[in-house]
Structures are given as structure tokens and as C-alpha cells.
Amino acid sequence: MVENSSGGLAEHQPPVGEALSVSKTFGETKALTDVSLAVFAGECHGLVGRNGAGKSTLVTLLTGLNRPDHGSIRLGGQPAPSLADRGAWLERAACVYQRSMVVPPLTVAENVYLNRPTRGSKSQLVNWRRMREKAHAVMLEWGFDVDVDQSAGSLTVEQRQVVEIARALSIGGRFLILDEPTAALEKAAVERLFDRVRRMREGGVGVLYISHHLEEIYEICDRVSVLRDGALVLTGKVAEVSQANLVAAMVGSAPPRRVTEIEAVKTRREPGRELLEVSDLVVRSRAGSVEGVSITLRAGECLGLVGLDGSGSSTMADAIIGLIKPEAGTVKVRGALIPPGKVDAVLKRGVGYVPQDRHARGFAPQLGVGENITLTVLDRVAPGMLGLISSRERDRIARREVDKLQIVAGSLEQPVSSLSGGNQQKVVVGRALAQEPSVLVVVNPTVGVDVASKEALLDAVGQARDQGMAVLLVSDDFEDLRICTRLQVMVRGRISREFNKPPWDRQELIAAVEGLTPAGERV
């Protein structure tokens, strides 16, 4: 697979990191099948693929956290050390993971020299002055601007990443894996990261650059490899691979159940009055910031907000619902301003919410189906000063939602924890619909849900829309989008593209979501 000659500086040398026809199976799942990939010193090698394509598995093999079932890993031309020898792995292959591997209470210098000798290789003692000087020297050598005496807990996301890169470089490793390094960075920080990558490349480091943003691959990488369903489907010079080909390689042939076009909403009617108005929302969040987004939502329409992890799409939902306080901007429901950061106030104004993580925020597992569904309407099932629950009213409301969503449960008393994932999710949606909201905010409603439940869930939300509810659907599952009347794509905290007329073109949508400029402007 490495037949292409590349622009890498040191191809006459053995690759700094190399997988030779590796395969890996987890239980029933074939995570990787016969994948070969080489990263040379002085090149930046892009690795792309949709979620579940096998990128993460390949990283665990290349960093010695897993052993391939077949095939082998070579680092710097030598066979990889045994898995038990963490020290040897760290010296030859380093990875900057998506989740931070920085220790907050320690100083930057300590984080750079974590678990490494600073006073000669034998000594178990720490020489603080030497450690600070050496860490400072590493920062200077690579042009990183982080004070090494600072406590790592006070660093920004970008600075933490710099610390991790410095740690990897100071160990002496010349093979560095960056796993979606820009996911949590702002635009300016991304530019600075690119500068760092270029500097490392010039310094003879081989970088394996994993990203969902194809745009970045074109900006920074020399070569690119594409994984799909655990197999390597393309390796080539970035300059010779067109965007269309890259997207095609990632998506593959038509998915089994649907053609390239996502099925459109069947009935469409003119949207009614404005129910939700979000203006210039700015939110800072580790899960993806929002940099000034305005949306309006009318009765009877369903707006799909589409974006990758970290694009800010789910942060939008959190901010509207009041789970995060925005830095700037306003949210109006039915014309009335919502006090920022107050969930109860938002829900009281008639906003229904289906949270992203149903286990954390969706339901009380030990309570019954009926109780869970009516949690949002306690004032209706327990009226009056006394606040006693009327079980007849509760059962009436719960029964209505159970029928609407076709929830399969023995009784209304059955604990939600004993239901299947699909039925649990239906309970969560039922809970939101029970209060008959005028605005419904739904985040990834069909994650981990079987096909039949998925249909039932989407139909129920579609029905609510037809009855005049305004629905905001945040999702990265394209099949969810069939109930939408309008789509907005978010990239890096901003709306990058709008689609106003269903059906949606899958290829075009993927290109937009991955942050590619419209076809034709490049390559």
C-alpha cells in the first residue's frame, strides 16, 4: 500500500512508524483487516475515516496498548517492543489523545518530565532545577510558548496539548500521533497548531494526523490514508487525491438501506409563527464552543443542526436548555427572553428536552415507566397545595405517550432500567412530549437504538412537528435528518452551510460536515 512516492523528507530511511498487514478482532467485530501503513520521518500523514472505521484501534496498536492478531508493528525500522515494556514504547511512539493526559495539580515542567529521570538514568530522585531547565529548553527548541513553572491546572486546552506534544518530543520519540487534535481548539489555535506541526515535520518528526476535518488534511498533510470498515481503502499524496475521491473513499458505495439521498419529509406545510429565537449565542465549552450563532425556529418545522463532535452543535442545545450559561447572546421562547443558565425556567416556558446521554440525564432508572414519563408534568399530576399525586391522571398521561411511542413494557410500573435501550429512549422522548411543549430540543435521539425503535422515535417526533411543534434536532446520524425540514451545518462553532430543500444529498452533506469548502474551489 505504500507504493506511492511521497514528499516526505526521509523516505530512504525506514519509516518511524509502520503497521504491516495488521488485523485485529474484538469478539465478533473485525476492527481491522490487513491494514498496512507507514509514516516516514519528516512527513505528516493524514488518517481519515468515519466513526467506527478502525482509526482508534490502529492507534492502540501503534502505541502498544494492544497487540495485533496478525501482522506486526515496526518502529524506526525495528520490531516493536513487548507490550509490558511501556518505557520502550513511549520512547519510540507517542500519542496526543483527545482526552487530556495532563496532570492538573503538577507544574508544566513536571508534566513534561512525568515519570522520567532528571538526575541521571539510575537515580530515583528528582532534580527540580534540572527538570525546569530541560523542560524550558524543550519549549524553546520547538518554539512553544508555555511557562514551565505554571500549574498545569491553569492551562488552556491549547496549552495542555502543547504540554503533551512537548512531553512526547522530549522523550526523543520521532513518531507522533495526533488524535483529532483540533477538536477542542479555536480557529486561531488551530493555525498555531499547524505551525507547530510544520516545525516538527522540518525537525524530522513523522506525524500521523487523525482528523474528521478533511480541510485540515489538505492544509497540513503530505499523504493521506483512508480507513473504511476496518480496511485501508486509499493511500496517496494529498495533492493527487481530489476531495470528491476522498469523500467517496470514506463513504464507500451506497449504504445498505438507503441510496445517497436521504429520504425526504413526506408532508410539508408552511411553517407558522416564530417560537424559538436564538441571537448571536457565544458559549465556551470543552465539548465544542459556539462562536456567535443565530437561529430561528417556527411552529411546524424541524431544524436539523448537524456537526461533528466538538463542532458546537450539542453545546448549542445545552445552552438553549440552560445547562451551560452562554457568554453572550439571547434565547427567546415565544417572544419572551429566557434567563440564561436556568433549566427550570426554560422548561416552564414550554421547551421539551431530550438529552444526549439518556443514562446521565434522561431517566431515573429505578422508577417506573409511568413515573418517568410524568416527571416533567408533576404540577399536572399532583395539583393543588397538597401536591398529592393523582395516579389516575398520571396513568392517563403516561398511557398516551406509551401508545404514541409504542413503548414495550409489562406495565407502567416496570422500572425503566429493565427496558431495552430503544424503549428507554422512547421513555425519555415521551417524558419530553408529555408536557406538550411548543419547542422540542432533541439531541442524538437514536444513538444505540434498534432499527424498529428508531423508526418509532423519529415518527413520534415527526408527528409532533406536524402538530405545530417547533423541533430542533441536533444529530450526527444522517438518518435522523429525514424528519427535518431544514438543515444547518456547524463547523468550529459557526453555521457553515444551510440546506433548505429536502431531500438531502448525502455526499454534499458529508463534505459540508467534514468542513470542506464547496466542491470545485480546491483541487
CB of 92 vs another protein, minimal distance in Å:
13
Among left, alpha and beta (phi > 0; psi -120 to 50; other), residue 172 is left
- Counting residues that bind another protein (by CB under 8 A) gives 27
* Residue 56 near another protein by CB under 8 A: no
Q: Which of 5, 28, 99, 392 binds another protein (CB under 8 A)?
A: 99
Q: How far is the CB of 61 from another protein (least distance, A)?
A: 15
Q: If phi over 0 gives left and psi between -120 and 50 gives alpha, with beta otherwise, what is residue 462?
A: alpha
Residue 105 is a binding residue for another protein (CB under 8 A): yes
Contacts of 54 (CB under 8 A, 6+ apart): 31, 32, 35, 227, 229, 230, 231
**What is the C-alpha separation between 370 and 431, in angstroms, rounded?**
9
Residue whose CB is less far from another protein, 131 or 324:
131
How far apart are the C-alpha atoms of 199 and 203, rounded to whole Å?
6
Options 4, 29, 82, 154; binder of another protein; rule CB under 8 A: 154
Contact call for residue 476 and another protein (CB under 8 A): no
Q: Which parts of 268-327 interact with another protein (CB under 8 A)?
A: none
350: Cβ–Cβ under 8 A, 6 or more apart, which residues?
A: 333, 334, 435, 437, 438, 439
Interaction between residue 137 and another protein (CB under 8 A): no
Select the residue interacting with another protein from 61, 62, 90, 443 (CB under 8 A). 90
Q: Is 67 in the site for another protein (CB under 8 A)?
A: no
- The whole-angstrom separation of Cα 162 and Cα 112 is 10
Minimal distance in Å, beta carbon 221 to another protein?
Answer: 25
Residue 156 interacts with another protein (CB under 8 A): yes or no: no
Question: Residue 98 carries which side chain, given as an amino acid letter?
Answer: Q
Part in contact with another protein (CB under 8 A); list of ranges 93-101, 173-181, 390-398, 405-413: 93-101
Tell me: does residue 172 bind another protein (CB under 8 A).
no
The grid coordinates listed for 405 are: 411511542
Using alpha carbons only, give the angle 453, 456, 457 rounded to the nearest 5 degrees: 85
DSSP string, 393-448: HHHHHHHHHHHHHT---S-TTSBGGGS-HHHHHHHHHHHHHHT--SEEEEESTTTT
Give residue 389's Cα distance to chain centre: 41
Binding span for another protein by CB under 8 A among 29-37, 52-60, 111-119, 404-412: 111-119
Residue 21 interacting with another protein (CB under 8 A): no
**Residue 87 beta carbon to another protein: minimum distance, rounded to whole angstroms:** 5
User: Which residue ranges make up the site for another protein (CB under 8 A)?
Assistant: 86-87, 89-90, 97, 99-106, 110, 114-115, 117, 124-126, 128, 147, 149-151, 153-154
